[in-house]
Every structure is written in structure tokens, then in C-alpha cells.
Amino acid sequence: MFDKLIADSMEKSPWLFHINAGSCNGCDIELVSVITPRFDAERLGYKLAGTPRQADIVVVTGPVTEQSLPRVIRTINQVPEPRCIVTMGSCPQSGNVFRGSYSIAGPLSKYFHVDVDVAGCAPKPEAVIDGLALAAKILKEKREKK
């Protein structure tokens, strides 16, 4: 009985942890705007977590620089399974304009399985909310398999 209650409540309120892997802050600003009252993703249950150990969904922005790579790997590994990894913007997906630079270690998919890619530079808040909804659906499926 309690297991079902916990599972239902976790499904409706996924917690996000944001990792900036060397971004220009364009995607970071869009993620913050999604949480603020104008778009209000919190009404859908999305809330930023204080630590990766409390998160269900990891949102990564930035091209994953050589300097940030060890921290990104360590932080994502701290998120409990099952987890969902979302890349936000073109940078963590392909490196965007930074591709081929000596300081870029990305894309993130070289190091982790990425569940959802939210495209754009920077993506619109509506696209971010859509990506988070897809991530919550994938997370639910992963929990059911567990």
C-alpha cells in the first residue's frame, strides 16, 4: 500500500538537478524561466533539488569542457537509479560552435546514455517543459521495469 503511494507521488513530482558543464548561461536562464511564475513548471511537479542525491532528473547545459568533465561524471553518478538525463541546448548534444576546440570533451552522450535531448540555442521554455514531461514519462517506465 505504501509502496504504491510513494511510487505515485514520485511520478507526479520529479526533482531536477541542474549541471552547468561550461555553458554561456543562455540555457541556464531559460531553465530558470521555466521554474518562475510565468511558465510555472512547479505546478506540474518539477522542482529543483538541492543535491544530486535527491534528484530524479539531471539537466545538463553546456558543451562539457575538459575541466568540468570529472565533476559532471561524479555528480551524475551521485544521482540514484533509476534516473533520467536531459541535455538542454545544442552544446551538450554536439558541442555547437565549440565543437573541435581543444577544451571540449563533449558531447555528453560519449559518457552517459542521454534519455532526452532538448534542442535549440537556447531552447524555448515551452520546449524545455515538453522535454521535462518526456523525461518524467521515461522515468516512470524505468521505475516500472525496476
Question: C-alpha 34: how far from its chain's center?
Answer: 13
Rounded alpha-carbon distances, angstroms, from residue 10 to 45, 54, 77, 87, 144: 9, 11, 20, 22, 12
| Residue 3 confidence (pLDDT) above 60 | yes
Q: Are 60 and 72 in contact (CB under 8 A)?
A: yes
Alpha helices in the chain (DSSP H): 2-12, 26-35, 69-78, 91-94, 125-145
Which pLDDT belongs to residue 77? 93
Q: Are 62 and 91 in contact (CB under 8 A)?
A: yes
The fraction of the chain above a pLDDT of 70, given in percent, is: 91
**Stated pTM of the model:** 0.86
φ/ψ of residue 22, rounded to 5: 105, 30
39-79 per-position pLDDT tens digit: 888 888 888 888 999 898 999 998 988 899 999 999 999 99
Q: Among 99, 101, 105, 114, which Cα is nearest to 67's? A: 105
Q: Among 12, 15, 62, which Cα is nearest to 35's? A: 15
Higher pLDDT, 8 or 68: 68
